Chains A and B, each alone.
Chain A
Amino acid sequence: MSSTIAKLLDMRGFSCPLPIARTAQAIRELSVGDLIEVHATDPGSVPDFDAWCTTTGHELVERTEADGVYRFVIRKAR
């Protein structure tokens, strides 16, 4: 399993559902176990990524917030 970020997605300034849709798109190109990091500013992205990971089975490895930017690290599970 890799611990480096395979892909970084900057979704700052975009409101949902764009961050989710772009993450869903980007994660297809990765291999199982790869990490993707997403930056977003929409507060709605917090519950959205929680629910999206639960639904799709991908693992939400890390979630942090600094200066209004939410950072999500997700591991591709399948």
Chain B
Amino acid sequence: MPARVVVLGGGVGGTLVANLLDKELGRDVHVTVVDPTGMHDYQPGYLYVALGQAKGHWLSREERSLLRPGVDLAIEEAIRIHPDAGSVQLARGSNLEWDYLVVATGARLVPDQIPGLVDGSFEFYSLAGAERLGQELRRIRGGRIKVGIAGIPYKCPPAPIEFTFMVDGYLREHDLRDRSEVELLSPLNRAFTIESASKLIQPIMERRGIGLTTFFNVESVDPSAHTVESLEGEKQEYDLLVLVPPHEGAEVVKASDLGDASGWLPTDRATLNVGGYDNVFALGDATDLPISKSGSTAHFEAPVIASRIASLVNGTAPKTNYGGRVMCFLETGDGRATSLRFDYEHPPIPPKPNRAWHVAKWLFNRLYWETVPQGRLPERAPFTTPKEVTS
């Protein structure tokens, strides 16, 4: 009998693990992907939708079209995981049994956690939010634009900075920059968590006249007074407020008592096993690992999980470990970008922003559908491998 693998979540990580396992093990495995919508969304595109540079319908495809024919897809909501019994309960009543479980349920936005956030601010972390922000940007004629972070951890750490650079470019293009203020409200004492990247970014912000307020962890928004307040006790006025909403892990993780208070799964940093179970794995945004929540993280974790499950199915000891590899693009506006490539041991050394990385990000956004979910972008390709650095 083939080994039964259930993958919860049809995002980057879940889809790639499913396809790699099917490719690697063939008839020795039966993989079922469980996803509540059956649609696969390319979330990095939302930023571009907000700036009017991409259309929403480019960013979504049917999950079925991205899975190998041998992989089953159940368009169902998982409501409870039973790790000891080796099963998962689905919303419509059936119970799916597994020998190996991969939890790739991602993160969800919980905007209600911050008082006033829903009515007082805009976001680009959902397609609907990005479209609404795009309409607002086209409507405004200048003013005080504040960009902040309303909860940590959040997906794609560079995104708020990219947004400030891109909105600066947008305002210049529309002759509105003189009538506008653009300011980043950072939760830290610098623009970005990673110090080397911050050193590169802050001088560019200065040159563009983008303001920086440090230690601003958003606590509440007052939509009628147009003010935002921080946990540190500072209050700022705004005309347009763009906030990254707070994130939490999936409902099913919380309902199954497998996660921490915020629903992130306690995950081994090397083996990606969850909560001490040898046959349960997690990847991508769903984990509690102290690394970026991003598609690229899931992309690099997926082959590790596929390889470990393949070894277990074949009766050998799993050898492949995750080294913490992440790769991010960071748009700095004016058609330039830099890249952050790093792992657990090596902090990134971002190159000076240039045309090439901007084009690479643009290309990647377009090639994504035909490469990443299928595992066609080799893990060791020069494009994705971090530059060897000596610390």
Given known pairs A20-B188, A24-B232, the reply for A55 and B214 (CB within 8 Å) is yes
**Interface 1/0 per residue, A4-31 and B, CB below 8 Å:** 0000000001111110110011001000
Residue pair B290, A55 in contact (C-beta under 8 Å)? no
Selected contact of A13 from candidates B152, B189, B217, B290, CB within 8 Å: B290
Question: Residue A51 at the B interface, CB < 8 A?
Answer: yes
Report A-chain residues with C-beta under 8 Å of the C-beta of B153.
18
Within 8 Å of chain B (Cβ to Cβ): is A65?
no
Are the C-beta atoms of A16 and B214 separated by less than 8 Å? no
> Complex Cα distance A52/B189, Å?
7
Give the residue of A14, A28, A55 whose beta carbon is less than 8 angstroms from that of B215: A55
Q: B217–A18 contact, CB under 8 A? A: no
Decide: B290 and A18 in contact? CB cutoff 8 A.
yes
C-beta contact mask, B193-237 vs A, less than 8 Å → 1, else 0? 101000000000000000000110101000000000011110000
- Interface bits B282-302 vs A (CB < 8 Å: 1, else 0): 000000001100000000000
Q: Are A56 and B233 in contact (CB under 8 A)?
A: yes
A13: which B residues are within 8 A, CB to CB?
290
- Chain A residue total in the interface (Cβ 8 A): 20
Q: Which residues of chain A from 20 to 66 have any CB-CB distance to chain B below 8 Å in the complex?
A: 20-21, 24-25, 28, 42, 44, 47-48, 51-52, 55-56
B187 within 8 Å of A by Cβ? yes
A7–B298 alpha-carbon span in the complex (Å): 35
Check if B189 sits within 8 Å of A55, measured CB to CB. yes
- Knowing A13-B290, A55-B215, A56-B215, the reply to whether A48 touches B189 (Cβ < 8 A) is yes
What residues of chain A lie closer than 8 Å to B187, measured between beta carbons? 17, 20-21
**Chain A residue contacts of B230, Cβ below 8 A:** 24
Looking at the assembled complex, report how far the CB atom of B235 sits from the nearest CB atom of chain A, in whole angstroms.
14
Kindly provide the distance from the CB of B260 to the nearest chain A CB, expressed in whole angstroms. 11
Beta-carbon contacts of B118-147 to A below 8 Å, as 1s and 0s? 000000000000000000000000000000
Distance of A47 Cα from B189 Cα, bound (Å):
9
A52-B189, A55-B214 are contacts. A17–B152 as well, Cβ < 8 Å? yes
Chain B residues, CB < 8 A from A15: 193, 290-291
A21 to chain B minimum Cβ distance, whole angstroms, is 5
Contact between chains at A21 and B232 (CB < 8 Å): no
B232 touches which one: A14, A47, A55 (CB < 8 A)?
A: A55
Determine which of A28, A44, A47, A78 lies in contact with B231 in the assembled complex, contact meaning CB atoms within 8 Å.
A28
Report Cα–Cα, A14/B266, bound state, in Å. 12
- Most chain B CB neighbours (cut-off 10 Å) among A16, A17, A55: A17
Using an 8 Å CB-CB cutoff, how does the interface string of B258-295 with A read, 1 for contact, 0 for none?
Answer: 00000000000000000000000000000000110000
Q: Which one, A21, A25, A51, contacts B189 given CB within 8 A?
A: A51
| A51-B214 Cα distance, complex, nearest whole Å | 10
User: Which of B189, B217, B291 sits near A24, CB closer than 8 Å?
Assistant: B217
Those of B149-171 within 8 Å (CB) of chain A: 152-153
**Are B215 and A44 within 8 A (Cβ)?**
no
Q: A17-B152, A55-B214 are in contact. Are A78 and B233 (CB under 8 A)?
A: yes
Please tell me if the beta carbons of A24 and B231 are within 8 angstroms of each other in the complex: yes
B294 to chain A, nearest CB (A): 14
Q: A25-B217, A44-B195, A55-B215 are in contact. Are A17 and B231 (CB under 8 A)?
A: no
Mark interface residues in B179-191 (1 if CB within 8 Å of A CB, else 0). 0000000011100
What separation, in Å, do the CA atoms of A16 and B291 have in the docked complex? 10
How far is the CB of B95 from the nearest CB of chain A, in Å?
A: 34
Contacts of B188 in A (CB 8 A): 16-17, 20, 48
Bound-state Cα–Cα, A28 to B187, Å: 16
Q: A16-B188, A20-B188 are in contact. List 14 more A-B contacts (CB 8 A).
A: A15-B193, A16-B193, A17-B193, A18-B152, A18-B153, A18-B290, A21-B152, A25-B231, A48-B188, A48-B189, A51-B214, A52-B189, A55-B214, A56-B232
A-B contacts, 20 listed (Cβ < 8 Å):
A14-B290, A15-B290, A15-B291, A16-B193, A17-B193, A20-B187, A20-B188, A20-B215, A21-B152, A21-B187, A24-B215, A24-B230, A25-B217, A44-B195, A48-B188, A51-B215, A52-B215, A55-B215, A56-B232, A78-B233
**A residues within 8 Å of B by Cβ?**
13-18, 20-21, 24-25, 28, 42, 44, 47-48, 51-52, 55-56, 78
